[in-house]
Amino acid sequence: MQLWNTLSKEDLEERLRLNAHTYVTISFYKYAKIQNPQLFRDHLFQMFVNLDVVGRIYIAFEGINAQISVPHKNLDKFIHKLYEIEFLNGIRLNYSVDDSEAEFPFLKLKIKVRQKIVADGLCDETFDVTDIGRHLNAQEFNDLIAKPDTILIDFRNHYESEVGHFKGAILPDVDTFRESLPHIEETYLKGQENKNVVMYCTGGIRCEKASAWFKHRGFKNVHQLEGGIIKYANDCKNNGIENKFIGKNFVFDERRGERITEDIIAVCHQCGNPADVHTNCANEACHLLFIQCEACKIKFQNCCSVECQSITHLPIDEQKALRKGVDNGNKIFKKGRSTKLKFKLNQEKPISLVK
How far is the C-alpha of 121 from the C-alpha of 98, rounded, in Å? 32
Cα dist from 276 to 32, 102, 155, 309, 338, whole Å: 36, 15, 19, 21, 17
Q: Is 236 a catalytic residue?
A: no
Q: List Cβ neighbours of 136 (8 Å cut-off, separation of 6 or more).
A: 144, 198, 223, 224, 225, 226
Q: List Cβ neighbours of 84 (8 Å cut-off, separation of 6 or more).
A: none
Amino acid in position 25 = T
28 contacts 91 by C-beta, under 8 angstroms: yes
Name the active-site residue from 201, 236, 268, 296: 201
Q: List Cβ neighbours of 328 (8 Å cut-off, separation of 6 or more).
A: 285, 286, 287
Cα dist from 326 to 97, 128, 303, whole Å: 38, 42, 18
How far is the C-alpha of 295 from the C-alpha of 271, rounded, in Å? 9
Q: Which of 180, 194, 225 is nearest to 207 (CA)?
A: 225
How far is the C-alpha of 148 from the C-alpha of 124, rounded, in Å? 33
CA torsion angle for 291, 296, 299, 305 (degrees, to 10)?
-40
- According to DSSP, the residues that pair with 280 across neighbouring strands are 289
Is residue 68 helix, strand or coil? strand
How far is the C-alpha of 123 from the C-alpha of 206, rounded, in Å? 15
Task: Name the burial class of residue 51, with classes exposed (0-12), middle (13-18) and buried (19+) by CB atoms within 10 angstroms of its CB.
Answer: middle
152 contacts 166 by C-beta, under 8 angstroms: yes
Is residue 174 helix, strand or coil? coil
Residues forming the active site: 201
